[in-house]
Amino acid sequence: MNEAIDNTIRESILSATAAEGETPEVGELILAWFSELAKGADPAQVNADRIQHVLEAIEDPFRNTEDAT
Amino acid sequence: MTTRMTVLGWETKNLRCPDHELVLDPRKTGAHVSLIQMPNGTGKTTTLNLLRSALSGHHWDGGEWTATEVRSLQSERKPARGFFWLHLGCNDMKCTIEIELDFALGTHQYRTTVPGSGQRDGHHPPAELAPFMQPDFVPFFVFDGETAQQLCDRSHTKADQAIQSLFQLQKMIGMSDFAETYWQRQGPAESVDQSLKQYQNKLSEARAKRDLLSNESRNLIIRQEAIKRELLDIDNAFADAIREHEEVKNRIAGLESGIERITKQIEQSAADALRVFRNPAAAISTTLESLNHFRSSLNRLKLPEDTSQEFFDELADDGTCICGRPLDDQARSQILERKKLYLSTEATAFLNKMKSDIGTQAEGANQSILLRNLSKEIENLTTQRHKNQIALELTKAKAAEESGLGDKTDRRDELIKEDVRILTRLEEITNSSITGVQVSKDPKMFRNLPAIEKLTQLLEDYISKKQGLQATKWKCKLVQRILDRSLKTAGDALQKHAVLEANEKLDRLLPNNRIRIKEIDRSLVLTNDQSQGSVGETLTVAYAFLSSIFQRADYHELPFILDSPVGSLDNDVRGEVGSLLPDLSHQVIAFVISSEKEAFWPAIQSAVPADGLRLHTLFRVPNAEYESAAEQAPERCVARSCDGILVTDRHFFDNFQRDDD
């Protein structure tokens, strides 16, 4: 899926994702987004969908805020 | 899958360089290195510039075309228009980019032809190639001494840019920018945190108010029950006291019995009055007068006797009309048709019944007097009952007083008043008819439980929505941090790798020279404080750097096109560069002049097998000496145009020499 990505870039994205405490799935989704753009996809066509997938995979940090309020 | 861009060839027509068609397609020629020998003045720079323009979709310097620049490309033959066609391969797909130049108007027009899509106006390279066919990247693979200088020039960011473009790291910048705009588009960006805090505070107030009202309601109900119990106790105490005084007891019983009897009489009189009132003609004299007037009118008009449909049926059967006119079939048909407009038998019966009923009503006219009497009787009975009720209360109060329960009477009055107040307040708190509740309202102003509950719900929904937005912002910021960190990490790692690889190449290219790449800080920073080497050194460093990053980025194979690749180099370095260049790319195209061949050409021949090398020589005509030499070449290797000859013969290439090159 992301074969057009240099290993250095792949490792950078995955390690940056882990450093932020997120799951590898989030990193893979960012990689997939990057890969699609690197293959020449039109950002206007893919960005909204791709970021939505990434955001959905990130756990909602305010899920338990209701109790706090 | 690797994306491979290949220059299949190009054609020129009516431009400053001789008209020619060059076929470079490695699939046809089998060559991955093509040397194009063009003597000075043949239009080598023009051809390279056109290649840059066709690849980038912009003027060769990266800007926009001007009329002067368009006209500068016009052939000496002064044609009206000129053309350049670049044939590209993207893996197995072919794409042609055309530039048409109108010399009279000074305008240009791009066209792109892709199999299956036909020809389109504009510059539309295949999507896979588009990231590299940009003005800021094309100079890295259509390369000349100027780009080499800029790679090592601290005032330029070419080295950094080359890595970012080749590995498409700038996509991460675009992604990060998109993440920033994405959450901002979801709602008002500036005040999200502040307004969320504000509404969270308001929700806390609303919840506190809701709890307050709920407690008040519960306490009121408890108090109400206590009042009822206390009232019951007081009433029982009264009852006990009354039971102890026989006389009072009998008097109270008489009063209660009297009240009960009067109440029954009132009910009976009210029922009688209602019955009378159901006949308005009997109860109200003016109504009866109006009905009698209506009945007289019907009699005067002889209705309904003279207008029954049967009359028209009989008339139609007769031979003549009542006016004496003979009736034909058409007249009879009309009479029978129009009789429906007049009264039917059922309607006649209804009118007769109504007339009869009006007559009967007249007989009951004295009922209005009865109604007046009943009304007066109800009024008297009500007054009497009220008097009895007062007497009953007074008797009970007196009995309580005599029994030492006087304070209980006051207490009872207080309790009843308090009960009324509680009922009023409970009605106010629990009334479910609520309107105008909005999140903007101040919870402190609410006195109604359903309303404050609705406000609480609205605020919870509103905050949930806001929190969704805040979560989106938080997540987008997280994605940005990941991308920014990735960009930095990947950029640093790729730069380090490029420096290591390039220096290893420089060890081979410049074994006796200490110049090396120290680091990449926007541009290539050279060691030993050499801010800039000689032209030859700079070019060598640039080749070493570019070959390192091009070889690493093997999932994007791009052609490498060079202008005078060794023109400024010493002979010993030329040989090294000659052996290095074939490794730069799957397709290397070098424009050379005859004088560059020394040292460089043998190195190329050693590095590339004969079938991997394609040699072209293009020169202008007329030129008796070269034309004569070209005639010695095999005919299939010679292509003539109106102003030039292209020879693809190795022997011709070897021996071609021009003194002013």
| Tokens at B637, concatenated | 């290797």
Residue A63 CA neighbour count, 13 Å, CB half: 5
- Say how far apart CA B36 and CA B591 lie, in whole Å: 5
The answer to whether residue B192 neighbours chain A at the CB level (below 8 Å) is no
User: What's residue B579's pLDDT?
Assistant: 81
Cβ–Cβ under 8 Å, residues B644 and B617:
no
- Which residue has 């305008």 as its token pair? B107
User: In this complex, do B127 and A33 lie within 8 Å of one another by their Cβ atoms?
Assistant: no
The answer to whether residue B478 neighbours chain A at the CB level (below 8 Å) is yes
Enumerate helices (H) and strands (E) in chain B, giving the number of each: 22, 16
User: What's residue B438's pLDDT?
Assistant: 82
- Say how far apart CA B344 and CA B249 lie, in whole Å: 74
Tell me which residue of B542, B495, B543 sits closest to B521, measured CA to CA.
Answer: B495
User: What's residue A2's pLDDT?
Assistant: 44
Hey, what amino acid is at B37? Q
User: What's residue B105's pLDDT?
Assistant: 95
- Say how far apart CA A23 and CA B565 lie, in whole Å: 49
At B62 the three-state DSSP class reads coil
- Say how far apart CA B604 and CA B595 lie, in whole Å: 15
- Say how far apart CA B528 and CA B524 lie, in whole Å: 13
Candidate from A3, A13, A34 with C-beta closest to B1? A3
Candidate from A37, A51, A60 with C-beta closest to B479? A51
Strand B118-121 with B142-143, pairing:
unpaired
- Say how far apart CA B168 and CA B545 lie, in whole Å: 17
Nearest CA in chain B to A18: B482
Q: Count Cβ–Cβ pairs < 8 Å, chain A vs chain B.
A: 116
Tell me which residue of B539, B561, B521, B478 sits closest to B48, measured CA to CA.
Answer: B561
User: What's residue B522's pLDDT?
Assistant: 83
CB atoms within 10 A of CB B186: 14
For residue B358, what are the CA distances in angstroms to B282, B289, B353, B474? 11, 10, 9, 87
Q: What DSSP state is assigned to residue B31?
A: -
Asked if residue A24 has a cis previous peptide bond (ω within 30° of 0), the answer is no
3-state secondary structure B154-181: CCCCHHHHHHHHHCCCHHHHHHHHHHHH
The answer to whether residue A12 neighbours chain B at the CB level (below 8 Å) is yes
For residue B120, what are the CA distances in angstroms to A67, B13, B124, B125? 60, 20, 8, 11
Low-confidence stretches of chain B (pLDDT < 70) are 1, 29-30, 157, 187-193, 281-283, 300-310, 322-324, 340-347, 360-366, 433, 528-533, 554, 659-661
- Opening angle at CA B406, ends B400 and B409, nearest 5: 85
SS3 content of chain B, % helix, strand, coil (to 5): 60, 15, 25
- Opening angle at CA B17, ends B110 and B619, nearest 5: 145
- Which residue has 């120290």 as its token pair? B518
Tell me which residue of A43, A40, A50 sits closest to B5, measured CA to CA.
Answer: A40
User: Which residues in A13-38 are b (16+ Cβ under 10 Å) and which e?
Assistant: bbbbbeeeebeeebbbbbbbbbbbbb
User: What's residue B31's pLDDT?
Assistant: 78
Residues from chain B that touch A1, judged by Cβ atoms under 8 A, are: none
Selected residue of B171, B500, B548 to mutate for chain A interface (largest A Cβ count, 10 A)? B171
User: What's residue B341's pLDDT?
Assistant: 67
User: What's residue B358's pLDDT?
Assistant: 74
Average pLDDT, integer, range A51-62: 88
User: In this complex, do A6 and B555 lie within 8 Å of one another by their Cβ atoms?
Assistant: yes
Candidate from B131, B470, B475 with C-beta closest to A58? B475
User: What's residue B13's pLDDT?
Assistant: 96
User: What's residue B577's pLDDT?
Assistant: 80
User: In this complex, do A20 and B478 lie within 8 Å of one another by their Cβ atoms?
Assistant: yes
Hey, what amino acid is at B219? N
- Say how far apart CA B619 and CA B603 lie, in whole Å: 25
Q: How far apart are the first and last CA of chain A?
A: 43
Asked if residue B280 has a cis previous peptide bond (ω within 30° of 0), the answer is no
Cβ–Cβ under 8 Å, residues B494 and B164:
no
Q: What DSSP state is assigned to residue B6?
A: E
Strand B3-13 with B560-563, pairing:
unpaired
Q: Over 50: is that where the pLDDT of A1 sits?
A: no
Tell me which residue of A60, A67, A15 sits closest to B487, measured CA to CA.
Answer: A15
For residue B197, what are the CA distances in angstroms to B100, B185, B188, B437, B474? 62, 21, 15, 20, 16
User: What's residue B188's pLDDT?
Assistant: 59
